[in-house]
Amino acid sequence: MKQGFEKYIPFVPLKRPRRSWPDKELKQAPVWCSVDLRDGNQALVDPMNVEEKLEFFHTLVDIGVKEIEVGFPSASEVEYDFCRTLIEGGHIPDDVTIQVLVQARPHLITRTFEAIEGAKHVIFHFYNSTSTLQRKVVFHTDVQGVKQIAVDAAELIYDMAQPVIASGMDLRYEYSPESFMGTEMDAAAEICAAVLDALHADAAKPVILNLPTTVENCMPNYFADEIEYFIEKLPGRERAILSLHPHNDRGEGVATAEMGLLAGADRVEATLFGNGERTGNVDMVTLALNLYTQGVDPRLDFSQINRIRDVYERCTKMKIGPRQPYVGELVFTAFSGSHQDAINKGTQYMRQSGSPFWEIPYLPIDPADVGREYEPIVRINSQSGKGGAAFVMQQNFGYDLPKSMQPEFGRIVQAETERAGTELPPQRIFELFRENYIAATAPYQLLRHSFAETVEENGASHVRFTGTLRHTDTVFDVTGEGNGPIDAFFNAIHGQKMDRFTFVDYKEHAVQSGSDSMAVAYIQLRDETGRDIFGVGMDHNINLAPLRGILSAINRAWQTRHRG
Ligand code: KIV
Ligand code: ZN
C-alpha cells in the first residue's frame, strides 16, 4: 500500500469563517424514517421475500417508526407486489406513512403512482444524482443538466399528484439530490430550490429535501459545514423538511447524522443495525439509544432489543457483530477485573444512594432498558480480578461477600479459570462458593446443640451454649458461656483442638433460597501464624448460621493443613 494513497483525491472542505453547529445540543429526536425495506433490502445477498418484508414492516411499526420506505415499486414485480400487499392487506396503521422511491424518469413515476393507489398516507420520493463526479463520469452533463432532470420530474409528479390528492390521499413529496455530499453546495441549493418551486412547496406543505451521503467521503464535521451552508443558501428554508440519509463508508455514519442534526436537519433516514449498501446506512438503533442515554426521548421503542435482533437476523440473513453498540452479544460483558470492580461499586452506590440516575461506570446504558439482563454482564475469566466473582455472587445469587473475603474467593475462582482454560459461567462460580465454603463440613460437625439465654435487668444478655460435636469418628460434648451465641460457642470449643483461632469478624444477611429465606454468615478467623481464614454457614436459624460458619472456617483450615 506504500504509494497507493496518492491516487485518491482528498475531499475539499468548504471554507467557513464562522460555524454555529458545534455549540448546539441535540435536545429532541429527529423525525425517523426507516429505509430498511428499500436501501437495506437492495443490499442483501438474498433480498427479503414478501412474508419477510411484512414481518419486518410490522416490527418497524411496533418500534414506533412512523415513516417507512417500503420499496422501489417500479424496479421489480416483487417490490410492486409488496406495496400492493401492504395497501390491500390493510397492514398500514393510520398513523404510519409509507414512502416509495423512484428515479426521476417519467415511465417509472407513472408505475409508482399505480403502486400507491388506495394508500392513505404516502411520501413520494424521487431522486437523481447531482455530484460533480457523477455528472462527469456517468451523466456527462453539467449542473443545469441535472437540475433540469430534477425539475422535469418534480413538475410531472406534481401534476400527476393533484387528482390523487383530490381523491383523498395524504401525499407528500421528497426529493434527494443523490450524492449530495459530493455536490457543490451552491449547486445543491440551486437544484433543491428549483425542485421546491416546481412542487409548490410552502411552510404549510413543506417538501422533504433528503440530503444523502450516498458515499460517505468526508469527515462528519465537514458534512455539518455543508448542511449549515446549504441551509443559509436555500431560499425559503421553511418550505422544506431537511432530511439526512447517511451511509457509512468511512464508519462515521452515526457521527455524520448527529452533526448533521446539530447543523439544522430535522429528519433522518436510517436502518436497523445499519444494514444497507456497502458498509450500510446509518444505524437507527445506535442513533436513537445515543439520544436516550443523553436523557432525550428517542420516540422509538427498543426495550426488547433481542427480539428485534432476531427478526432482523432471520429476515435479512445478516449477522449482528458481538460488539455492535447496544445489541451485540458482548456489549454488556466486562472481562477486565477493574471494570468489573467499578461496575460492582457503581451498582452498590446506586442501591445505597437511591440515585434516580444511572451512574454505573462502563455501562453507558442500563441493560434492562433494552431487555437485556444483568446476568451476562460479568463473565469470569483469568483476567478478572477479585471484584468480578463477588459481583457475580451479589448480582446473580444475592450473596454479599465481605470485602475482606473477596480476595480469597477471587483466588479460588481464578485458579479454576486457569485450570478450565476458559471463562466461567455464573453457576460455576456459585458451585465453587458452595464447594469451598458451605460444604466444608468435615472433620468438625455440630450434631446437637441448645442455647439458654438470660437477659439481665440492665439489658445485658448472657448465653449458655451446650452442644455435641463430631470430629471424624469421635463424638464429644462442649459447653460455653458468653455475651451472645457466637461468643458462647467460641468459648465452648476453647480447649479443644480448635482453639488456635481467634475471632476477627463476621457478617450475616438473609438470602432467598428457592421459596425459603435463609441466613448466611461469613466468618473471618485468624490462626496463630496470623493467617486469615474464612468460613460460610447457612441455616434457617440466624443463631445457627454463624456457628456453621465458624466450623466451616475451622474445617477449611484443617483441610489446608492436612491436605495441603
Ligand atoms: O444513498 C442514496 O443516495 C440513496 C438515495 C436513493 C436516496 O439511497
Ligand atoms: Zn442510500
The 10s digit of each residue's pLDDT in 511-530 is 987 778 899 999 999 999 99
1 CA distance to ligand 1 centroid (A)? 31
How far, in whole angstroms, is CA 409 from its chain's centroid?
A: 31
List residues, by chain if needed, whose CB lies under 5 Å from ion ligand 2.
39
Which residue type does 325 have?
P
Residue nearest to atom 2 of ligand 1 (CA): 214
Q: Give the Cα separation of 377 and 340 in Å (integer).
A: 9
SS3 content of the chain, % helix, strand, coil (to 5): 45, 20, 35
Q: Determine whether the shortest distance from the Cβ of 125 to ligand 1 is under 6 A.
A: no
Q: What is the mean pLDDT of the chain?
A: 94
Cα–Cα distances in angstroms (integers) from residue 29 to residues 25, 97, 101, 239, 261, in the given order: 11, 18, 24, 20, 9
Q: What is the pLDDT of residue 385?
A: 65
210 CA distance to ligand 1 centroid (A)? 9
Which residue type does 220 have?
P
Test site for ligand 1: of 102, 124, 176, 277, most ligand atoms within 8 A of the Cβ: 176
Q: Determine whether the shortest distance from the Cβ of 239 to ligand 1 is under 6 A.
A: no
The DSSP annotation for 299-313 comes to SS--TTHHHHHHHHH
Q: What is the pLDDT of residue 391?
A: 82
| Ligand (nearest to CA of 181) | 1
Q: Determine whether the shortest distance from the Cβ of 129 to ligand 1 is under 6 A.
A: no
Residue 89 has pLDDT above 90, yes or no: yes
Q: Give the Cα separation of 384 and 232 in Å (integer).
A: 54
52 CA distance to ligand 2 centroid (A)? 21
Angle between helices 50-63 and 305-316 (to 10 degrees): 160
DSSP-derived pairing of the beta strands 516-526 and 532-539 = antiparallel
Which one, of 37, 96, 28, 36, lies nearest residue 66 by Cα?
96
126 CA distance to ligand 2 centroid (A)? 12
Q: What is the pLDDT of residue 384?
A: 67
Which one, of 382, 373, 385, lies nearest residue 344 by Cα?
385
Residue 122 has pLDDT above 50, yes or no: yes
279 CA distance to ligand 1 centroid (A)? 14
Query: Which atom belonging to ligand 1 lies closest to the Cα atom of 35?
Result: 8
Is the alpha carbon torsion for 217, 220, 225, 227 positive or negative?
positive
State the residue for C-alpha cell 501464624.
529
**564 band by pLDDT with thresholds 50, 70 and 90:** low
Residue nearest to atom 1 of ligand 1 (CA): 214
| Ligand (nearest to CA of 174) | 1
Residue 444 · residue 472 · CB < 8 Å: no
Q: What is the pLDDT of residue 31?
A: 98
Q: Give the Cα separation of 191 and 130 in Å (integer).
A: 9
Residue nearest to atom 5 of ligand 1 (CA): 178
Q: Give the Cα separation of 30 and 149 in Å (integer).
A: 30
Q: Determine whether the shortest distance from the Cβ of 178 to ligand 1 is under 6 A.
A: yes
277 CA distance to ligand 2 centroid (A)? 7
Number of neighbouring beta carbons within 10 Å of residue 228: 24
DSSP reduced 3-state for 201: coil
Looking at per-residue pLDDT, the higher value among 295 and 563 belongs to: 295
Residue nearest to atom 3 of ligand 1 (CA): 214
Q: What is the pLDDT of residue 462?
A: 92
Report which listed range, 280-289, 386-395, 471-480, 514-523, is most confident.
280-289
Test site for ligand 1: of 146, 214, 242, most ligand atoms within 8 A of the Cβ: 214
Q: Determine whether the shortest distance from the Cβ of 214 to ligand 1 is under 6 A.
A: yes
Test site for ligand 1: of 101, 129, 192, 195, most ligand atoms within 8 A of the Cβ: 101
User: Stretch 195-202: mean pLDDT, rounded?
Assistant: 98
Residue 147 · residue 190 · CB < 8 Å: yes
Query: Which atom belonging to ligand 1 lies closest to the Cα atom of 39?
Result: 8
**339 band by pLDDT with thresholds 50, 70 and 90:** confident
Angle between helices 406-420 and 426-433 (to 10 degrees): 120
* Cell numbers for 463: 448465653
Query: Which atom belonging to ligand 1 lies closest to the Cα atom of 269?
Result: 7
* Cell numbers for 8: 485518491
Cα–Cα distances in angstroms (integers) from residue 339 to residues 59, 155, 350, 360, 417, in the given order: 35, 60, 16, 10, 18
Q: Give the Cα separation of 530 and 411 in Å (integer).
A: 19
Query: Which atom belonging to ligand 1 lies closest to the Cα atom of 180?
Result: 3
pTM for this predicted structure: 0.77
* Cell numbers for 497: 483442638
Q: What is the pLDDT of residue 105?
A: 96
pLDDT in tens, 350-400: 999 999 999 999 999 999 999 997 554 556 666 666 678 888 898 889 999
Which of 88-92, 191-195, 455-459, 472-476 has the lowest average pLDDT? 455-459
Residues with Cβ < 8 Å from 132, sequence gap 6 or more?
182, 183, 184
CA angle 49/52/58 to nearest 5° reads 135
Report which listed range, 227-231, 371-375, 468-472, is most confident.
227-231
Query: Which atom belonging to ligand 1 lies closest to the Cα atom of 277?
Result: 1
Hey, what long-range contacts does 274-278 have (CB within 8 A, 24 or more apart)? 274/248, 275/36, 275/40, 275/43, 275/44, 275/312, 275/316, 275/318, 276/35, 276/39, 276/40, 276/43, 276/247, 276/248, 277/39, 277/42, 277/43, 277/247, 278/43, 278/215, 278/247, 278/248, 278/249
Residue 194 has pLDDT above 70, yes or no: yes
| Ligand (nearest to CA of 215) | 1
